[in-house]
Structure 1
Amino acid sequence: MKKLIFLWVLVFISCSSSKFDKVNGVSFVSSREEVAQRHIDPVLDVQANYAAIMPFGFIRDLDSPELVFNTDRQWFGERREGAEQYIEKLHQNGVSVMVKPQIWIFDGQFTGNMKMPSEEDWKKLEGSYEEFILLYAKMAEETQSDIFCIGTELKTFINERPEFWNDLIQKVRAVYMGKITYAANWDEYAKTPFWSELDYIGVNAYFPLCEKQQPTIETLTQGWQPWKTKMRELAKQEERPILFTEFGYRSMDFTGKKPWLVDRNQMDVNLKAQADATQVLFDEFWSEDWFAGGFVWKWFMQHDKVGGQDDNRFTPQNKPAESVIRRQYAQVRRSSR
């Protein structure tokens, strides 16, 4: 009888742990300089257990096949040398890492619309992108990073060139032994064709929730329900957990209307809306067993110089939303011990 009770206790502990074993991440923005302990301390203070490291490649225009990456002209954190240094410092502090190489198109054009004018240009892009991704996949293996992301918001590229992506996944698997995902935009993930080949269904979670200038907890919660239902169904269908490869809100009015906006508008600062939207997201997802966690967008190294009461951008730093994140991440850490 005692043995049976003990087994039931083990099952209960196992189930409880899996419920709370989440990726509690921040998207760690690349910088010109090396990362030091003073830059990591705020990550630890907010109780994050993961950071996304994001080396960059650059493209001139939506129809340009030339991807430039890992050059001396880039910031330190945007190239391999810097990414390695960031990862080493995070690992020294017990923070796990997702390596998430990304493309920046001149003037901030949306990567999902990138399309080549000819077969020749598609081939050039594919060759360059494969080199880009495998460079960082090998680095992720060498640094023993926990997750590798094969791309971010590349809807048209994937739709137009599915065979390339199937081959790329296999090539990544050959050099990287950790878990793999892809960061699909919120309006793309449902039709991404290769989830069964990956470990996580990666979603950049900028879902429109409500159109109110000052959204309430109730309207934000209601806004999540149809999206949440669809993600739950996809996770069950693909037998893969959902991972929010990016999530976050602007600290401004109408924050739930078009959460993906990165323009320089002067919308009134609304710190409460950002904090409330962040809390609702945690309430809706963090206790779900089909949900793996996520990475807050975005977290800057110079913590004491960013965000604050007058900032209407995405970062939660030095705003009420930072306290919301700390409270949630601390709860999950305590529960997973």
Structure 2
Amino acid sequence: MRIFLVFASCLLLASCSMTSIKPLKINGVSFVASRDSINNSHVNPIINIHANYAALMPFGFIKDLEHPEVRYNSNRQWFGETRVGVKQYVDVLKNKGIKVMVKPQIWVSRGQFTGFIKMNNDEEWLQLETTYSKFILEYARIAEDVHADIFCIGTELETFIDYRPDYWKQLIKEIRALYSGKLTYAANWNEYDRTPFWDQLDYIGIDAYFPVSDEKTPTVEVCKAGLIPYKEAVAKCSKTLKKPILFTEFGYRSVDFSGKEPWKSDRSMTDVNLEAQKNTTQALFETFWNENWFAGGFLWKWHHNNEKAGGENNSRFTPQNKPAEALIKDMYANY
């Protein structure tokens, strides 16, 4: 009898060793703030697609690319963009088992690209640093208070970082003194390879808007081929720095030529192409999600009012109520 039990145990161990166990990924959504508070009915659709994380994005505002003052927590902001709103959203999400990344972001008037924020002299840079620190450290404290799982120290601020790297390194130390969770930074897809402070963070964060094809409706295979050089570069970065890769944003629009310049949110692009969105998204999953050095990512973007969001006539980023939503549900279910 003892010999049989030992033999059975060996068979079980061998079977387990041969079984491929996929690592749990961060299957996230970028949860867009609304005018009002949220409740379980707004979170259930996230659970339905097997997401396990949500990024919350309180906003600070800058008047123009050369203005040194960050304004935030204004009465004019939507509830979900504010300090009080973040706390309420976290409570509801965590009560439903969804983990949270707090990701404070800057909005420049007229939607100008944050990567171009640049001051004219040292005095203005110091003013910007003072107001940005106040903004980001306040949300670091909130992230600690609500036990947020990840905190993102900034999003697509490449010129600010290029010109003031020492400020950022000191800022990370100040954040660490306040916040005990994991840290990342959301670098643009063509910025991450020169970001100077990855060694101080837990994840290499990338907003993964990689251009993959100039075709109107690229196939999955065409998109996967277009992703090969980016995958190789990202894998090398992860290996060199010994840090996992996290897509702090990823997604493609349901529009013609969605893989050509995926970062564009131009409202003049209105030719709906649901297949292009599905194919580009599938290619991204199949290229990255199986890699051990890849931690996961946050889909851009997900609206709280699921019944009214997206739809087959919508050319924007959200996959809600489009074929891409079913794809994402299947992909997230695997991890």
TM over 0.5: yes
1:326 is the counterpart of 2:329: yes
| Corresponding residue number in structure 2 for 1:215 | 218
Structure 1 distance, partners of 2:34, 2:235, is 36
The Cα offsets for residues 123-182 of structure 1, whole Å up to 9 and x where unpaired, read as 111011111111111111111110000000000000000110000000111111110000
- Identity rate of aligned residues, in percent? 53
Query: What's the counterpart of residue 198 of structure 1?
Result: 201
How many angstroms does 1:214 deviate by?
1.2
Superposition deviation, residue 41 in structure 1: 1.0
Matched, 1:67 2:64: no
**Among 30, 33, 38, the residue aligned to 1:27:** 30
The residue type paired with residue 42 of structure 2 is: H
Where does structure 1 differ by over 3 angstroms across 4 or more consecutive aligned residues? 1-13
- Which residues of structure 1 form unaligned runs of 5+? 333-337
**AA at the equivalent of 1:75:** W
**1:134 paired residue among 132, 137, 155:** 137
**Distance in 2 between the 1:133 and 1:185 partners?**
19
Q: Which residue matches 1:241?
A: 244
Q: Is the radius of gyration larger for structure 1 or structure 2?
A: 2
Q: Structure 1 residues 37, 163: closer, same or farther in 2, change over 3 A?
A: same
- 1:335 aligns with none
- Residue 2 of structure 1: how far off its partner (Å): 7.2
Supply the distance in 2 between the matched residues of 1:82 and 1:289 (Cα, whole angstroms). 35
Match of 1:293 in 2: 296
1:235-273 CA-partner distances (Å, limit 9, x unpaired): 000000100000000101101000000110244211011
Q: CA deviation at 1:21?
A: 1.1
1:151 to 154, 160, 184: 154
TM-score by length of structure 2 reads: 0.95
More displaced 10-residue stretch of structure 1: 263-272 or 273-282: 263-272
Instruction: State yes or no: 1:103 paired with 2:115.
Output: no
String of CA shifts for 1:254-301, please: whole Å, max 9, x gaps: 010000001102442110110111111111111100000000000001
**What are the Cα deviations for residues 22-67 of structure 1, in whole angstroms up to 9, with x where unaligned?**
0000000011100111111111111100000000000000000010
How many residues of Structure 1 are paired with residues of Structure 2 in the alignment? 330
Q: Which residue of 1 aligns with 2:177?
A: 174
What is the rounded CA distance, in whole Å, between the counterparts of 2:31 and 2:202 in structure 1? 22
Change in 2 beyond 3 A, CA 1:119/1:270: same
Shift of 1:232: 0.3
Preserved contact between residue 216 and residue 276 of structure 2 (Cα < 8 Å): no
Give the aligned residue type for 1:226: P
User: Does residue 1:276 correspond to 2:311, yes or no?
Assistant: no
Give the Cα–Cα distance (whole angstroms) in 1 for the partners of residues 317 and 137 of structure 2: 30
SS at match of 1:303: coil
Q: Is the 8 A contact 1:20 1:286 kept in 2?
A: no
Letter in 2 for 1:306: A
Report the TM-score, using the length of structure 1 for normalisation. 0.94
Task: Work out whether 1:51 is the aligned partner of 2:54.
Answer: yes
Out of 215, 234, 243, the position equivalent to 1:231 is 234
Structure 2 gap ranges (5+): 1-5
CA distance in 2, matches of 1:313, 1:215: 18
Task: Give the match's secondary structure for 1:57.
Answer: strand
Structure 1 distance, partners of 2:332, 2:82, is 29
**8 A Cα contact 2:79 2:85, kept in partner:** yes
Q: Separation in 2 of the partners of 1:193 and 1:10? A: 45
Q: Structure 1 residues 6 and 68, CA, compared in 2 at 3 Å: closer, same or farther?
A: farther
* 2:232 partner SS: helix
- What is the rounded CA distance, in whole Å, between the counterparts of 2:221 and 2:12 in structure 1? 41
In the alignment, structure 1 residue 260 sits paired with structure 2 residue 263: yes
Local SS of the residue matching 1:20? coil
Q: State how far apart, in whole Å, the 2-side matches of 1:140 and 1:6 are.
A: 47
Q: What is the SS of the residue equivalent to 1:183? A: strand
RMSD of aligned C-alpha atoms?
Answer: 1.8
